[in-house]
Each structure stands twice: as C-alpha cells, then as structure tokens.
Homo-oligomer: A and B are copies of this chain.
Amino acid sequence: GKVLVVPTDGSHWLSMREALRDLHARGHQVVVLTLEVNMYIKEENFFTLTTYAISWTQDEFDRLLLGHTQSFFETEHLLMKFSRRMAIMNNMSLIIHRSCVELLHNEALIRHLHATSFDVVLTDPFHLCAAVLAKYLSIPAVFFLRNIPCDLDFKGTQCPNPSSYIPRLLTTNSDHMTFLQRVKNMLYPLALSYLCHAVSAPYASLASELFQREVSVVDLVSHASVWLFRGDFVMDYPRPIMPNMVFIGGINCANGKPLSQEFEAYINASGEHGIVVFSLGSMVSEIPEKKAMAIADALGKIPQTVLWRYTGTRPSNLANNTILVKWLPQNDLLGHPMTRAFITHAGSHGVYESICNGVPMVMMPLFGDQMDNAKRMETKGAGVTLNVLEMTSEDLENALKAVINDKSYKENIMRLSSLHKDRPVEPLDLAVFWVEFVMRHKGAPHLRPAAHDLTWYQYHSLDVIGFLLAVVLTVAFITFKCCAYGYRKCLGKKGRVKKAHKSKTH
C-alpha cells in the first residue's frame, strides 16, 4: 500500500521512524511530507522525503528552538516564566499554523498528493495540520502519538475521562488523589481551555474554509480510524479506553544494536561499579554554567563512571569519572548489565527505555508531560524526581546514591520491566499491523462508536433524564392533587355530618 506520513519533529519522529522502516521492509511505499526546515527529518533509504518550503529560515527555526530550550533553566518569577513560555508557544504555533495554511493552499502539492492516491495517512496529531490534511484528502488516518493537549485524544475517540481518578496533563497528580487534588484536576483543564482554544481554533477555521462548512476541532481529530498511543498500563494509570485505541508504549526499545567499541571500552574501564547514563534529551543543548558545575560536582562524588550526553560548554570542575559525549546509544547502553542508573528529563522515550531495560532513574523533568511521567515513575517506586532549578549538588548526589544503592528501586523497575515486556505482540509489530489493517479495510468503521453521532446532552442522557423527571413530577403532582381532592371530599362530608349533629344537639 501507499503510506503518506506527516510527522511531528523532535523526539516524536524518532519512534515513528522505526515503524516506517518496518512498513518499507514489508513492501509498502512510504512518503514523508514535512517542512523543509526541521530538526531530524532527513532523507533515508526507506522512505521518500517530500518537503515544502515556507518563508522561515533554518536560523529563525534554530533561534526559536534555542529560546524555548533555554527557558527551561531560567530561574525567574513563575508568572514571568509563564508569560515568556506563552510568548514562545504563541510564536511557535503562529509559525506552524502559517506553514499549514501554505501547505493546504499549495495546489500543486495537494494535486500531487491526490493523484498519488494514498491508502492511509500516518500522522502525529500533536500539530493539527495533518488531521486537516487527512480529512481534506479523505484518506483514512492512523494517529501515532503519546498524547495531545486539551484532552483532544479523549474527545476524538469519544472516550470517557472521569476526572476523579485520571490525572490531567501537567497536574502531576497520581490516580489516587486527595479531595483538593481532585478539585485541581477538574480546574486545570478549565484554566487551559482558553489556551487550547487559541491554539486549535485556527485549524478549525482553516478546515471550515476548505470544506465550505462548519468543521470543529473535534471533527478533525474524530477522523482517525485507529489511534496508536505510545503508552501502556505499566507506565500509565489504568483508565477507560476505546476499541480503536492501540497501545504501543515501548516501541522505541525495539531494534537494539551491539555497542560500539568506544562505549564497550568505557564500560569495561568502569570496573565493578558500572556506569550511569545521563541525558536530558534532544532538546537541551546548553545548561547555564553554574547549574552545569553543580551537576558536574555531584557526578564526581559517585564511584560509577558517568556517560553524560552534553553538547554545551564543558564544566571546568568535571571529575575524571565523568565522560562528555555528543551522542550516545541510549537504549543500547541502558540494556547493558553494568548500567546502574539513568539520569533523564523523563521524556516518554527515555522512561520507556528505562522500563524496557530495568534501570532505575533520577528524573529532572523540564517541560510538557515530563513532570507527569516523572510523577508516575516515582509513585511506582522506580526513581527519584528532582526540580532541576532548585536542586543542589548534594540533592543530586543523594538521589543518585539512593537510586543505585537502595535495592527497592531496582526491584520496582525490574517488576515494571517484566510486566511491560510480557505481551502477546511486540509494539512495533502491533503498530505495523494496524496501519496495514486500515489500508486493507479502508479504515475501521466497525470500531467507530455511535457516540460520535450524539450531541453532548444526548450523550449524557440529559434529555432522557429530563423527560423521566417530568413524567415522575407530573405523576406525583396528579397523585397529590387527587389525594388532596379526595381528602377534601372526605373532610367536606365529615364537616356536614358534624354540622348536622351540632344543629341537633342545640
């Protein structure tokens, strides 16, 4: 079949890429459509890259990204930080929306996409543009995602989402909440709804313009036949799901490769203490010097060799046991038996590699869902969370020693690992199966719940409840009236008898 892929850049792309490799190996023709200017999506031999240009240079892109990543380490006032983040996000979403408008109005490209008659669109709906494109080309869509903000994943699948035990994004609640935490869990989405509307509404109007009729954001995301979630119920709390939701968490652990000599040498040289892997992910290239030195200081205090993936300036106090590398084979290193701990920003890829390989974590969440991921792993006893801004060198040192020496962390992560890897089908095979399923059957209409065809008050049966209440009240009212009438009748009779009696006795 023919697969049109509209990916989201950054780490989102890394795991989707593995699925494309497999699809290509199974004989499918894969075309990746993306912005000319991007971070990771480069030409490879298992897909055809189609890019579209917009008036935005690679410098502008890098500067925007750098601004975003630098903001992680600023220790300014919360409100200042929040408004700066909002400004960066607003800037980013304007640029992404503009690129979407240019894509959808690029008639030559759209004609070409139509002409190629793709069988399926595989996309990460984190940016809604791809959902508009899939609906516009009226090709069945498969969504490939960790989650989308504003609960659009729940709305798009008509999946119940009780706020009493399902922690909302960014709340860092667990599934067992106190009363006030449940209040926070209910208020958070309300507070974010303005932001959600601001970011998503432009795509609804863009789609309404294209389709010449009212199209809502929920319409856009409801177009997907199957949702492939990079999650599972070892990492996530169990919650209601829908039949067209498939869980492929840990897909990025597939395709392990042997370590290169360089890294084998580091491990062999680490002696009986083994190594610690340290990476804050693809988005962090520079840490403020003072913070970097505090980190370097703590790393120097443990007997393990630390492999630190860091592209920023080398801290002057770097100890001998700490080796800086520009890149490291993270999953393969974590798979080595001599790896004692993993210092991570708790992105979902890193956390899954930790689970797959059973390595306890010290987590320094930076942005997005990383705080929530860290909270989950902490609740399950698989690691310790530090606030990267407030933590001291000592905090990091203690956290590392705890995670390495306190056996409970290793036991917990090993238990999670054995639960996670005990499955009937591997995540990568499951993802490929469902993309092929949607191609074979031109979608999955039998998995689409009738809830999509109900209004919100019909869905919650408010009209039925109202009707039954009206019936009950009417019946009660009539019964009351009859009783009252009957009562008066009886009373009236007794009254006349009494009067007659009185007149006799006077």
Contacts and interface: CB of A to CB of B under 8 A. Distances in A.
A179 interface: yes
A216 to B, nearest CB: 19
Contacts of A237: 449-450
Given A164-B458, A441-B419, A176 B234 contact: no
Interface residues of A, number: 52
A425 B241 CA distance: 20
B424 A159 contact: no
Contact of A160 (B162, B183, B233, B464): B162
A447 interface: yes
Contacts of A243: 233, 238-239, 241
Nearest to A467: B183
A433 interface: yes
Nearest to A455: B164
A461 interface: yes
Interface in A444-476: 446-451, 453-454, 458-461, 463-465, 467-468
A461 B239 contact: no
Given A164-B461, A430-B424, A441-B418, A449 B241 contact: no
A429 interface: yes
A344 interface: no
B186 A461 contact: yes
A498 interface: no
Contact of A464 (B182, B238, B446): B182
Interface of A: 159-160, 162-165, 175-176, 179, 182-183, 186-187, 233-234, 237-244, 416, 418-419, 422, 424-425, 429-430, 433, 437, 440-441, 446-451, 453-454, 458-461, 463-465, 467-468
List the number of copies, as a whole number: 2
A433 B460 CA distance: 37
A243 B433 CA distance: 20
A93 B468 CA distance: 33
A183 B464 contact: yes
Given A238-B447, A449-B237, A454 B419 contact: no
Given A162-B461, A238-B243, A419-B446, 13 more contacts: A162-B460, A164-B464, A175-B449, A176-B453, A182-B458, A183-B467, A233-B446, A238-B242, A240-B240, A241-B242, A241-B243, A418-B441, A422-B437
A305 to B, nearest CB: 33
Q: Which of A164, A425, A429 has the most CB of B within 10 A?
A: A164
Nearest to A245: B241
A464 B180 CA distance: 8
A475 to B, nearest CB: 14
Contacts of A160: 160, 162, 240
B182 A447 contact: no
A176 B449 CA distance: 10
